[in-house]
């Protein structure tokens, strides 16, 4: 009875799937999504089976995958990308969590000012901040001068010229830019937690560190999972910061080249090899999928 009534109200069973008016309404959206999202996905999968430069492409089967393992630049880019997310994502998540908890205490004055200041970098212009970073971290920039002045270092650090420090600089730059963004998620989640939970814990003598570790972190777990996945994806696709800080080269000596930057170079900087570039983008897809799955697996509800 009830079933007949509902389907009757919706003009009957299968018929609604053939109703042309409905399709007309969603056709523009489907068309755009198909053209700019679905088509490129399959086109690049198709392309990844071809090799050759420019328009001179020939079918190569899994030849591109074999080429990956012999390509030192790809291996370098893969290593760099891995280093970036393994080092940067945890640092940023922990930092964002701590900042959010600090901003959430009601004893803090001017919390709004701090919140804005910490959030601002991620809406700042990328080019502007890259130029600023480059000048601050140049050999005679303020950072080196400050470190020299307090005696932490004996001679200036070549932030943009030494491979190790160049990586540090990239990590600093993305941490500076994206910590505030993650913090906002935590702050929103924290403000939804019933204050009396913390008050109860205080009365019961649970020390502050334990309130953070055993109450705050577990209650924020879904948000932490979400931000970790978003940040991991962002770092694996890292491009903008490196491109702007190193004039698109990923230097010095490929020390900061990332997978995305390498894809860009393969298509736009060198003689284009679309097939090989498409193969590397699928490497990114596989990495994101595997890591997201792992993170869900680790954070699953154990019972």
Which position among 55, 149, 203, 271 is part of the footprint of other proteins (CB under 8 A)? 203
State how far the Cα of 275 lies from the Cα of 48, in Å rounded to an integer. Answer: 4
Nearer to other proteins, 185 or 198 (CB): 198
Which tokens hold the place of 181? 């963004």
Confirm or reject binding of residue 199 to other proteins (CB under 8 A): yes
Choose the stretch contacting other proteins; rule: CB under 8 A; options: 168-176, 204-212, 240-248, 255-263: 204-212
Q: Applying CB under 8 A, does 197 fall inside the site for other proteins?
A: yes
Which residue of 154, 205, 271, 302 would you call a contact of other proteins, by CB under 8 A?
205
Among 38, 127, 188, 210, binds other proteins (CB under 8 A): 210
Those residues whose C-beta lies under 8 Å from the C-beta of residue 98, and which sit 6 or more positions away, are none
Angstrom distance (rounded) from CA 279 to CA 246: 25
Q: Is 219 in the site for other proteins (CB under 8 A)?
A: yes
The answer for 250, left when phi > 0, alpha when psi is -120 to 50, beta otherwise, is left
Candidate list 127, 200, 253, 290; residue touching other proteins; CB under 8 A: 200
Other CB atoms closer than 10 Å to residue 99's CB: what's the count?
19
Segments in 71-153 forming alpha helices (H): 72-104, 111-119, 126-136, 142-149
Binding of residue 202 to other proteins (CB under 8 A): yes
Query: Closest Cα partner for 182 from 127, 241, 112, 118?
Result: 118
For other proteins, the closer of residues 217 and 294 by Cβ is 217
Q: Is 299 in the site for other proteins (CB under 8 A)?
A: no
> Binder to other proteins among 83, 126, 184, 206 (CB under 8 A)?
206
Part of the chain binding other proteins (CB under 8 A), chosen from 105-113, 161-169, 205-213, 281-289? 205-213
For residue 221, state whether it binds other proteins (rule: CB under 8 A).
yes
Cβ closer to other proteins: 33 or 217? 217
DSSP state of 152: S
Query: Which SS3 state, helix, strand or coil, does residue 46 take?
Result: helix
Site membership for other proteins, residue 208 (CB under 8 A): no
Question: At CB < 8 A and 24+ separation, what contacts does 90-93 make?
Answer: 91/171, 91/175, 92/174, 92/175, 92/178, 92/179, 92/182, 92/231, 93/182, 93/224, 93/227, 93/228, 93/231
Q: Return the structure tokens found at 98.
A: 């701590």
In the complex, the smallest distance separating the C-beta of residue 104 from other proteins, rounded to whole angstroms, is 17
Give the per-residue contact string, 156-195, with other proteins (x = CB under 8 A; - = no): --------------------------------------x-
Residue 148 or 219: the one with the smaller Cβ distance to other proteins is: 219
Binding site for other proteins (CB under 8 A): 194, 196-197, 199-207, 210, 214-215, 218-219, 221
């Amino acid at each position: 009875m009830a079933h007949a009534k509902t389907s009757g109200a919706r003009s009957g069973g299968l018929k609604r799937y053939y109703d042309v008016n409905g399709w007309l309404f969603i056709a523009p959206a489907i068309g755009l999504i198909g053209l700019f999202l679905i088509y490129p996905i399959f086109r690049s999968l198709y392309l990844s089976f071809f090799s050759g430069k420019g328009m001179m492409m020939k079918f190569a089967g899994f030849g591109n995958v074999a080429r990956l393992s012999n390509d030192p630049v790809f291996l370098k880019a893969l290593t760099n990308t891995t280093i970036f997310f393994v080092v940067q994502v945890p640092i940023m998540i922990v930092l964002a969590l701590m900042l959010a908890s600090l901003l959430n205490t009601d004893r803090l004055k001017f919390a709004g000012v701090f919140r804005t200041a910490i959030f601002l970098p991620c809406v700042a212009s990328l080019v502007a901040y890259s130029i600023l970073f480059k000048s601050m971290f140049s050999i005679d920039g303020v950072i080196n001068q400050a470190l020299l002045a307090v005696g932490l270092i004996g001679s200036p650090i070549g932030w943009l010229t030494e491979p190790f420090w160049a990586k540090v600089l990239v990590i600093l730059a993305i941490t500076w830019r994206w910590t505030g963004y993650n913090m906002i998620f935590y702050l929103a989640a924290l403000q939804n937690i019933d204050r009396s939970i913390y008050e109860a814990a205080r009365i019961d003598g649970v020390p502050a560190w334990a309130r953070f570790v055993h109450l705050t972190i577990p209650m924020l777990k879904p948000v932490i999972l979400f931000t970790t996945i978003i940040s991991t994806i962002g770092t694996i696709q890292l491009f903008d910061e490196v491109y702007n800080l190193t004039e698109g080269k990923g230097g010095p000596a490929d020390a900061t080249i990332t997978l995305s930057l390498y894809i860009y170079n393969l298509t736009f900087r060198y003689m284009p090899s679309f097939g090989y570039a498409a193969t590397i983008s699928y490497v990114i897809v596989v990495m994101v999928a595997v890591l997201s799955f792992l993170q869900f697996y680790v954070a699953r509800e154990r019972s």
